Amino acid sequence: MITNLHLQNFRSYEDRVFNFRSGVNIVAGPNASGKTNLLEAVLVIATGSSYRVKDADLIARDQPWARLDSRDQKGLLRTVKIITEPAAKSYELAGKPTKRLLLKDTLPVVLFEPNHLQLLTGSPERRRNYLDELLAQIEPGYATTLRQYKRTLAQRNSLLKQLTSSSSDGQLFAWDIRLSELGGKIARSRAQLVDTLNNDVPQLYGELSHAKTAVLLRYETALSMDSYETQMLKKLETSQALDQVRGFTGAGPHREDLAVLFDDQIASETASRGETRTAVLTLKILELRLLQAVRDEAPLLLLDDVFSELDSERRKALTSYLKDYQTFITTTDADVAAQHFTASANIIKL
């Protein structure tokens, strides 16, 4: 839990202190008043990074640095510092400096913003990011493995564009092996996460929708989890000529997907708008539960203008699950959000 947050040169805030309560905190104000910037600040102080921009863009315009300080209910101070020259970011936990936050140093967070409502109907990249961002918060080392995979993939793609058909023999082999090793770890973690979510998806969706629709998640890959690395390596070797022609790597976890099935049919093709939003709400609530179970700590819940995107029934369903979490809600209309909570909600007007 975060009790207060001091922002200096962060985004639209020059120097501002915010105090929060343990329950629901409603951040209200007109468009462009800094509501999302405040939510982003909570995410940065909790996890060390933004979901929107690179570190340099977090610093207020024409300023050389930004700083965020927060305290929790035990008085523990957390600090994030970002400077432009040389570009760097550092942290302090209870006065002890560190250059990188380990998983144990972060606070668990669930973010729900309007773009997430296109999780089912948007691009496969959106769904891969959903799995990767959750795994980064529950599996030690996953974020590092993912960074290494992306770096290796970029290096292989760069080499593909440099090679000619007569100079390609053997030059990609080392990259193929490394990419396959990392790819197997990523795909297996994703598939295991999907299996875990499937334990609760059908029941929770039924509770939220009051429907008997059979909902199931499926990790979409052409490779077997039992021999993923071997199969991926073979695929990279046999597709090398095609990869050279198109200039990118066509096989691996960066090309895979998460499917949501309604009665064995792909939800993005058959589900109504309401069914789709209920499915996304189901995933977000399961994200809260899973994070709390794995981290043994209640996550912070950030709702960025999502109330205006949900109808009354789904707002009510969402709020029924909020009582155990410190929640931050942004809205242009505090009354719309406040009517779903008791008078104890903390309203912050911008």
Residue pLDDT, tens place only, 208-249: 888 899 999 999 999 999 999 999 999 999 999 899 999 999
- In CATH, the architecture of 118-296 is Up-down Bundle (1.20)
284: three-class secondary structure by DSSP: helix
Q: How confident is the model at residue 341 (pLDDT cuts 50, 70, 90)?
A: confident
Question: Is the whole model's pTM more than 0.75, yes or no?
Answer: yes
| Fold designation for 1-107+297-350 | Rossmann fold (3.40.50)
Which residues have a Cβ under 8 Å from the Cβ of 275 and sit 6 or more positions away?
209, 211, 213, 262, 267
Say whether pLDDT at 91 is over 70.
Answer: yes
User: Which residue has better confidence, 195 or 114?
Assistant: 195
Task: Measure the CA–CA gap between 256 and 184, rounded to whole angstroms.
Answer: 12
Average pLDDT over the chain, rounded to whole?
A: 92
Confidence bin at 124 (pLDDT 50/70/90): very high
Spatial CA neighbour of 110 closest among 301, 312, 268: 301
The residue behind tokens 């140093």 is 105
Whether the pLDDT of residue 99 is over 90: the answer is: no
Model pLDDT, residue 168:
56
Q: CA–CA separation, 86 vs 149, rounded Å? A: 27
Given this model, what pLDDT does residue 70 score?
97
Q: Where in the chain are all domains bearing CATH 1.20.1050.90?
A: 118-296
Residue 169, pLDDT score: 57
Rounded to whole angstroms, how far apart are CA atoms 179 and 62? Answer: 40
More confident residue, 50 or 306: 50
Would you call the peptide bond into 86 cis, given omega within 30 degrees of 0 as the criterion? Answer: yes
Q: Where in the chain is the domain with CATH 3.40.50.300?
A: 1-107+297-350
Give backbone dihedrals phi and psi of 257, rounded to 5 degrees, phi first: -150, 165
